[in-house]
Structure 1
Amino acid sequence: MAVTREQVAEIYVATFNRAPDSAGLDYWASTALSIEEIAQSFFEQDETQEKYPDTLSNALFVDEVYNNVYNHSGDPEGAAYWIAELDNGTPRNVMIIAMVNGAQGTDQDTLDNKVEVGLYFADNGTLLSYDQSIEVMEGVTSDDATVESAIAEVDAWSAAVQTIPLTIEIDAIVGTDLDNTITALVAADPSDTTLNPEDTIDGGGSDNRLALTNEAVVETTTLLSHMSSVATLAYTNSATGVQTIDTAGTTGVQTIEMYGESDDETVFANVVNIVNLELNGASATTRIDYTVATIINDDNMNIVNSSMETQVV
């Protein structure tokens, strides 16, 4: 039997206590994997391994999962049972499934409410951030009123995002004080491409994104030559052939989000500052080529692989 979106959202809640992103939710719900296999796959991801390192004791892990699912620590008997099970070799993902399946009473209400909020976020907050997927869960309890509050929060966040589309002409974009999402396309027909090397993009506000979709049918190099004050590059790749995004002349990017199911490599070239990389549903190799001046710094690069199978970076 195919898994449902609700089941996948339950695993997101139990494992991460956050709402699923839209691409990740759709990816896992469309696989042929069972819900048990999906829970196991989550524990192969960098996000999970960072949240639950091998050095984390089973007692602390049990407490984390109880709070993720039920918003409270386990009763002494239940917690002791799971600590013993894990100590005796039961995989942690097995406990995740058991906690989801074992919810009842107000605990079931809490989980149901978190799932409802998570699905709303995935469906209506596609331009929102990873941090917001965590924040939206913070006030959700067994009380239905907290669902209404969380949904209102998602709506308010989304309303604060201004979408600015690039055109096939040469654009000079200056964002507003609102959070801006600038949309751009590399099209199968080059005459329909809206991201041009001569475009200038100034994000303006404090939390800005360039949502770049690539539908090219041949190997392509796309130039981001004049972009500043855009913190997130959200790249959706459905192209054919190796795709290079040359960011020479771009400053201020802090996070690169990868989406799409292209089987061909994506290269981000001439990156001038250390970025965080979030992988959401992409299946091929992603390569970040930093400038020499960048790699001599002491900054760390964080990778979150939140919704996919093993990926090469």
Structure 2
Amino acid sequence: MFLPQKERDLGFLEKFAELVEAYDILNDCKYSIPALLMLPLVLMNTATWDTQSCPFSSVVFFVTVFTKILFLIYLILYFFCLFYEGSLIEKEDNLTTEFDGKKKRDPPIVRDLYLSLEELFYGCTKKIRISRRMLNEDGVTTCYRNRILVVDIQPGWKEGTRITFPEEGDQGPNNIPADIVFIVKEKLHPRFRREQNDLVYTTHIDLGKSLTGFSVEIETLDSRLLNIPINDIVHPNYAKIVTGEGMPLSKDPAQKGNLIIRFEILFPHRILAEKKHTSFHLPYS
């Protein structure tokens, strides 16, 4: 055994360095495996066999030829593996993941959940049926089973609200199931359009009503009938705001946004000659 810390001679230090280098080379599988496979070939080539006196000469010849063929096959496979070293490393990482107990989480499964304004106004419960792959008792094989996910919709939720069911995706022996995520989407409504916590109602009126006043009847989401008087002159940018008749606030459903009434003024295509004189009597501010 060489102990360079105890030896003063430089020759010992050089020899110790050579041994360390040789050990590092043989410790690398790229060098150690070829060396081990070449060993039988070297022994066969360097050994001296007397084919006349050796009773096993035919066996020795067969082993020699077989060893050379095996070595050539290995060389082809070895250089092929070196050429695809990157892909092999990736596969090795996957195998390592399978056998070292570290599981990878599957990416989340995202689905849209379309809801009406009435459902978002009152809140509701949605039951969604899914089919997922689940592990059997052996922990390896899987089978498909149906499952019901219950989504509790809270009053006032807005479009874009995310509901997450952790690890409800497909199970497997080497993965962590994905999260299932539902994203709230609003269905088109025949009467209202939502703006944050406000509801927008658009009605069409003719030019005469816009100047003389009128009232608007609106059926709310909770089936009440509102009669809103409009006593102002309605211009194209005019909007009537009714406080507290909008959508409930998700953080405090007792509070509500506003109802905004907007108007589309229908102008006549032409005015009869006998009615034109009335325009001169219209007041100006």
Name the TM tier (shorter chain).
under 0.3
TM-score between the two structures when normalised by the length of structure 2: 0.17
TM-score between the two structures when normalised by the length of structure 1: 0.16
Q: Higher strand share goes to which structure? A: 2
Larger Rg: 2
